[in-house]
Copies of this chain bind each other. A is one copy, B any other.
Amino acid sequence: MSEGMSEADLLKWFTSKRSTVEDLLRHRFFYKPSFDIYGGVSGLYDYGPPGCALKREIEDLWRRHFILEEDMLELSGTNLTPEIVLEASGHVAKFSDFMVRDTITDRCYRADKYLIENMDKLLKKAEVTAEQHEEFERVKSKADTYTPQELHSIFQKYNILSEENNPLSYPEPFNLMFATSIGPSGKHRGFLRPETAQGIFVNFKNLYDFNRNRLPFAAAQIGLGFRNEISPRDGLLRVREFTMAEIEHFVNPNAKDHSKFANVAGLQVPLYSQEQQEILGGHLLMTIGEAVDRKIINNQTLGYYMARTYLFLVECGVRKDAIRFRQHMKDEMAHYAADCWDAEILSSYDWVECVGIADRSCYDLTRHAEKSKKNLQAAEKYETPKIVEFIDMKPNKGAIAKVYKQKTQDILTYLAELPEASKAVICKDLEENKEISITINENNYVLNQTMIAPVNSKKTINQEVFYPSVIEPSFGIGRIIYSVLEHSYREREGLQEARHFLCLSPSVAPIKCCVLPLSKNDLFDSSVAQLKENIKRKGLSCEVDSSSSTIGKRYARCDEVGIPFAITVDFQTTSDNTVTLREAKGMTQVRMPLLDVAKIIRKLVDKTVTWENIAGRYPSFSANTN
């Protein structure tokens, strides 16, 4: 599998290897269906030791790449969420998919996905005309935008039945949140959060205070999300419980430039813009700087996060030629969103959204402010105060008192407390009608131009008060993990037996190294123990494989689970205290003092040296053991 493959060839390769890869991942317990002894529950998966370690490494990398690097405020909120929060966010009313039921068996299908599957079946038929082909593709691409009525007509038109060939029901919305009840009374409805974002929004004021009332700032959260998918399929890609990593970057809506934008402006990324989608083209390589200049990407902050996301995905081990940023079409985007791009990754499941990067404007904070009746605005001092002109009202106390006597004070107070906008209206009214009428405590008073006069006035404003806009990069960790695993799958060529392996970057590999005594022999025990101890002291995970298999078989076993380095203790070790260090990717070996090993592996994992550096520094070692 070379770097220069076309998109179609890459997809073909992924597809041809999917079952082999998934077997390997299950067999080596990267993940398995949860509760498999009870038959499993669809859409739920458990990560076993290598999967769990890989997940942790990717989360740690994310934390370093975003939170540490960008000084973000990390938060850890609860999954249990009271109903009112999700009413405010719109999830109670709208977080649903359309579902059709088999009218005989009651089996449920997610309407849009089932429609796509059926279109795919039609597309595979031999007799499809060019015209039909285009029609089926169009239906597929619009599947998630149809109304229930439209879905129903399309299902009728193509006579789509259930998998058991029974009629399907009219599409109905199914809310995807898991509901529960909080507390013993049964009266307080709650849900498992469908995203971590709301936990950040409801904490906006706390975070803003924590940041000493400065903008912009970003808050981040790594945690679980839950979606009661109607018919989960596609392995790790569509599950009911998943890990997300979300960033909410709060910014003045009039100042979406990013202070570090220059650092990424020159980075070329694959953009699949609205325009390219409309003309049915492919994605184009373009620098982030050019895309923002040309207004293809709405603003610098959005562009900055797209660039950082691209770098993160590549660092995780996603193939560069299998990433693209797809812009949401206008009819696909939420009404409040200023712009939205999905980082999609190509795998055997085709292009799949793994990260969403959206400019959500001030929608979420406004909603929560309305619902909670709390002030969720920010304020920014102007560098130089602004002087604003406005029309004020000057009352003539004597003239008012002449007519209204002891009520004068009531009138003066009333006028003084009028908001600015009302004063402007009254002044205009007065000019047009020569007099105005006001009501205080159910008494009417008529005031004429002698009693009040408009005055042009000025005032100084020191700060702007506003709802911050939110730029939200949202990562599906499980989807990234699956993509990395599928992309890291390799087959060795030119060996007697076909051997597959996972070529994972040492920084994310679940197990960093394996210690192998050449054969079963007590002579090796102390060196093995010492190596293991030294490696652990460096905070590195390490396996020992002292089984009786040949050294070649044991190397193969390490390679299969993505262990980048293997150390072999042999008879020479017992005399000169040197060992061999093998890199899985290139299967090359060097000989080095046992005492150097832990330090060197630490550096290789931290990327402060490369394997090439090491291979240049120590003598190479060859034995026919690979």
Which chain B residues lie closer than 8 Å to A184 at the CB level?
99, 108, 174, 228, 230-231
**A224 interface residue (CB < 8 Å to B):** yes
The CA of A474 and the CA of B481, in the complex, are separated in Å by 29
Knowing A47-B76, A53-B74, A78-B241 touch, does A374 contact B180 (C-beta < 8 A)?
Answer: no
Select which of B46, B55, B207 is within 8 A of A78 by beta carbon.
B46
Q: Does A467 contact B (CB under 8 A)?
A: no
Q: Is the CB of A81 within 8 A of B35?
A: yes
Task: Contact check, B228 vs A183: say whether CB atoms are below 8 A apart.
Answer: yes
A49 within 8 Å of B (CB atoms)? yes
One digit per residue, 1 when the CB lies within 8 angstroms of any chain B CB and 0 when it does not, for chain A 231-243 equals: 1000000001100
| Complex Cα spacing A52 to B221, Å | 10
Residue among A38, A45, A108, A539 with the most chain B CB within 10 A?
Answer: A38
Structural contact, A85 and B372, CB atoms closer than 8 A: no
Interface status of A199 (Cβ within 8 A of chain B): yes
Nearest CB in chain B to that of A107: its residue = B185
Q: In whole angstroms, what is the CA distance A182 to B179 when docked?
A: 10
Q: Is A326 an interface residue (CB 8 A)?
A: no
Quote the shortest CB–CB distance from A94 to chain B (angstroms).
17
A194-246, CB < 8 A from B: 199, 202-203, 205-207, 209-210, 212, 224, 226, 228, 230-231, 240-241
**0 or 1 for each of A166-193: is its CB under 8 Å from B? (1 = yes):** 0000000010001111111100101010
Q: Is A547 at the interface (CB under 8 A from chain B)? A: yes
Q: How far is the CA of A322 from the CA of B78 in the complex (A)?
A: 29
Min C-beta distance of A506 to chain B, whole Å: 16
Inter-chain contacts of A84 with B (CB < 8 A): 38
Tally of this chain's copies: 2
Residues of chain B within 8 A (CB-CB) of A368 are 37
CB–CB B192/A180 < 8 A: yes
Interface residue? A522 (CB, 8 A): no
Q: Judge whether A82 and B206 touch: CB under 8 Å.
A: no
Q: Contacts of A78 on B, CB cut-off 8 Å?
A: 34, 44-46, 241
- Asked whether B536 lies within 8 Å of A68 as measured between CB atoms, the reply is yes
A75-B99 in contact given A68-B539, A179-B181, A210-B29 (Cβ < 8 Å): no
Do residues A77 and B36 form an inter-chain contact, with CB atoms below 8 A?
no
For residue A298, CB closer than 8 A to chain B, the reply is no
| Cα of A51 to Cα of B74 in the assembled complex, Å | 9
When the two chains form their complex, are residues A76 and B55 in contact, meaning their CB atoms are under 8 A apart? yes
B82 pairs with A46, CB closer than 8 A: no
**Cβ contact within 8 Å between B49 and A240:** no
Q: How far is the CB of A548 from chain B (nearest CB, A)?
A: 11
The one of B185, B224, B240, B376 in contact with A182, judged by C-beta atoms closer than 8 angstroms, is: B240
- A221 — nearest CB in chain B belongs to which residue? B52
Asked whether any CB of chain B lies closer than 8 Å to the CB of A41, the reply is yes
Considering the complex, give the chain B residue whose CB is closest to the CB of A178: B180
- Give the residue name and chain of the B residue nearest to A545 (CB): B212
A361-B80 Cα distance, complex, nearest whole Å: 34
Please tell me if the beta carbons of A199 and B46 are within 8 angstroms of each other in the complex.
Answer: yes
- Is residue A488 contacting chain B, with contact meaning CB distance below 8 A? no
- In the complex, what's the smallest C-beta–C-beta distance from A155 to chain B, in angstroms? 17
Q: How far is the CA of A181 from the CA of B177 in the complex (A)?
A: 10
How many angstroms between the C-alpha atoms of A547 and B202 in the bound complex? 27
Residues of B within 8 A of A74 (CB): 49, 52-53
Contacts of A212 in B (CB 8 A): 547
Produce 1/0 per residue, A522-535, CB < 8 A to B: 00000000000000
- A64 located at the interface, meaning its Cβ lies under 8 Å from any Cβ of chain B in the complex: yes
A215 to B571, CA, bound (A): 29
The answer to whether the Cβ of A442 comes within 8 Å of any Cβ in the partner chain is no
CB distance from A93 to the nearest CB of B (A): 17
**Does chain B have a CB within 8 A of A73?**
yes
**Complex: A204 Cα to B541 Cα, angstroms:** 22
CA distance A154 to B202 in the complex (A): 44
Is residue A383 within 8 Å, beta carbon to beta carbon, of the partner chain? Answer: no
A80 contacts across to B, CB distance below 8 A:
41, 44, 178, 226, 240-241
Given A47-B77, A48-B203, A49-B73, 12 more contacts at CB 8 Å?
A29-B209, A32-B203, A34-B78, A35-B202, A36-B202, A37-B368, A38-B85, A49-B75, A64-B539, A106-B185, A179-B180, A184-B228
Give me 25 A-to-B residue pairs in the complex whose CB atoms sit less than 8 angstroms apart, sorted by A's number. Answer: A29-B207, A29-B209, A35-B202, A36-B202, A37-B205, A37-B372, A37-B376, A38-B371, A41-B82, A44-B80, A46-B78, A47-B76, A48-B210, A49-B73, A49-B74, A52-B75, A53-B74, A69-B536, A80-B240, A108-B183, A108-B184, A178-B182, A182-B240, A184-B228, A184-B230
Q: Shortest 3 CB-CB distances between A and B: which pairs? A: A47-B76, A37-B372, A108-B184
